[in-house]
Structure 1
Amino acid sequence: MHRILTLGLLVAAAPAMGQSGYRDGGFPPQAGPESVKYAYADVLRVDPIYETVRYREPREECRDQQVERVERTGGDGTGGTIVGAIIGGVIGSNVGSGNGRRAATAAGAVIGGAVGRDIDKNRGGPERRYVSTEQRCQVVDVEREERRIAGYDVEYQFKGDVYMSRLAYDPGNKLRVRVAVSPAD
């Protein structure tokens, strides 16, 4: 009887021993794409990476410039008026006869006086020259150059292994790392 009981237990246990506990021929069910966890690595070194950026910007440049000016200081017109009237009167007296001659003399004196006065005021007087300083400005493009940090080369250690990555930021003393485990095959 003892033998029958032992044999019965073996027969009942045989199917359980032959099965691995997984469906589909003993393989584990498919997990997600990978097993991921996060941890912290010790940062060993951080080296900034620089880039040079060139750009143009408009800027107003001003400078002082000396300018020479000429000014004519015409007379009061009296001398020119008198000389012009005399010359105009003489010319007018040679035209016509009788009352016409008197009228031509008077007209010549008036016209000659007006011309003489204009000449005296505009060109007849002395010149005055002077130098003044004026500020001249213009907009020019100025090329600028600037050094900027483009990123950081970071050397870090995780579980005894040393790694290197380029990051956009300085991580400080600790770097959060993503640890993914998946089968090699």
Structure 2
Amino acid sequence: MRTLAAPVIALILSAFAGAMPVVARAQDSGTTVLQNENVRLDFAQVMRVQPIYQVLRATRMEPRCHGDAEPAGTGVAKVVGAVRGAFGGKPAPAPAQGECEMVPVVREFRRPIAYDVDYVYRGTKYRSRLPFDPGNRLRVRVSVVPYIPPRASTP
């Protein structure tokens, strides 16, 4: 039973985390005033989502043969060799080892890592960077706490 107590307590505390009191200190008397934070969840209308990409570059060595537009055995060279063979012509000879060389080919990959989201909540526009695309609606946490202005100190 003792092993279940810690997770249960953690669950209860996380449920009340949104209703934690806000501590405000009065400047003149040094007293602490506890204000309950009024929290609720609502939805905002998403206006624009712009992905932020990470660009990854990968280099790979590929054979390039002189005299052909593409490496032997791929693409057009393969089709031309098959057509020659079908019409009784001699198949194209494979290029000699000395005619091909290995060259580096760089490829770029882009993947989204975050999203800049413009949204409107109760007539006010906001922008946030989120780790996911929220779609048409964004769930927002609304918190209201009274503002207590500091008292003017007397010299």
Greater Rg, structure 1 or structure 2?
Answer: 1
- The normalised TM-score by structure 2 is 0.44
Normalised TM-score (structure 1): 0.38
Q: Which has the higher helix share?
A: 1
